[in-house]
Amino acid sequence: MSQDSRSGWTRREALGVLGMGAAAAMLPKFASAADLTFPQGAVIRTILRDYKPEELAGGVTLFHEHLSFKDDFMTRWNQYAQDTRRETAAPQGMRSPNPNVATPAARGAAGGGGAAAGGAGRGVGAGAGTARGAAPAATAQPNGFFMTDVDYMTDELVRAKKEGIGCIVDGGHPDMGRNAQFLKTISEKSGMPIVLGGGFYTQPFYPKEISTMSEEQIVRALVKQVEDDPIGVFGEIGSWDDITADERKVFRSIGKAHLQTNLSIFTHTGIPGKSAMEQLDLLEDAGVKPNRICIGHLGNLTPQASGDNTLGVHRAICKRGAFIGFDRQGGPGDTPQVAMVMSLIDAGYADNLLFSADIAGVQSMEKAGGQGYAKTWTVFVPKIKAAGASDAVLHQIMYDNPRRFLAFVPKIKRKY
């Protein structure tokens, strides 16, 4: 099959093709987990409890997904995106948070990896056999907005868990309409550990008072989020288009809040990759070590954002020790991302890679005919494998790197 074919692995196929064998599926940890070391007292904080990083070694961790929005979030997102395209006349425009969302604002944008609405076939990983056929027709629709339907979302997480996903980071926070109690409920019902994100998103979504707040006031608001809820990471923290004065203020505040909480940070770059270097500069200048930072959406880095220097931006960030996020993939637009990933692996930067899919639309759900929350693992990773990545490197990227990124020694005790 071509690398753009809509194919995927089951959990058993993934374990087998990666050379781990059927017996590995029965083990709570993989052997390489013993090679990792974490600071004394480090945890990965999920909405239900704190885990030792070693406890999550037996499954894939997805560092940037969405499980909870307000029902009007994507409507607002797409309207802001259309307004930005008109104002900037950007030839590639703003993209949806997930290329699976085939909205008017996102249609035709460069890059992206998701399937169009309606889902995609589910087969064996690229280069690993013959396809198993097209996806079944959608079997269920959510009761109202899918990210408020407990049973619907619980079922999707159960499916993802069966396919090898061991932990999911939810990249929402209050200004995106994230509901912490909803996430707690679906985590309890599905058995899927969920890391709760915190922070402020981007300029169009900020509370109106952000513009008049001082940095110290914003820091106090961020720390209060961490005190009130079991937040395990700051993210996604973004710039919408060209980074604004308010967004710079928020980035500096996030850096200061990191110093008070020890939480890692992952970012959103507007036109993918735009302001990537400045985001890293702002956080480092505030005192954040680069290995606690992931600059997001760099798998879809556009020439407009990189000045036709895509790999140069990637490598510059990696050289400084930060992670880069390939977090919008798993479909027919994956080919350029596979080439980027292989270039970075060949250059020795596998330690700096994080993969996820940034799912935002119901059409990505398995019950709606999509590939579900496991698609980074079942669709994208097989393409990297087929391109020549070793089993050890793929295990490192999917199992080890996210735990290194998320693990922290808490400075604020969780309430519950």
Q: Domain extents for the chain?
A: 11-406
pLDDT of residue 36: 87
Q: Return all residues near 202 (Cβ < 8 A) that are at least 6 apart.
A: 238, 239, 240, 247, 268, 270
**How high does pLDDT run on average in the chain?**
84
CATH architecture label of 11-406: Alpha-Beta Barrel (3.20)
Helices (H), 276-400: 276-285, 303-306, 310-319, 335-346, 375, 381-386, 391-395
Q: Mean of the pLDDT values across residues 323-337?
A: 92
Distance CA 59, CA 55 (A): 9
**CA 89-252-291 angle, 5° bins:** 95
pLDDT in tens, 197-253: 999 999 999 999 999 999 999 999 999 999 999 999 999 999 999 999 999 999 999
Residue pLDDT, tens place only, 260-276? 999 999 999 988 899 99
Res 309: pLDDT: 83
pLDDT, tens only, 137-181: 455 778 889 999 999 999 999 999 999 999 999 999 999 999 999
User: Would you give the DSSP letter of residue 25?
Assistant: T
Question: Cα–Cα distance between 285 and 274 in angstroms, integer?
Answer: 19
Can you tell me the mean pLDDT for 385-402? 97
Q: Is the pLDDT of residue 2 over 70?
A: no
Question: Would you tell me the crossing angle of helices 215-228 and 245-261 to the nearest 10 degrees?
Answer: 50
Model pLDDT, residue 97: 46
Do residues 235 and 199 touch, judged by C-beta distance below 8 A?
Answer: yes
Query: What is the model's pLDDT at position 9?
Result: 57
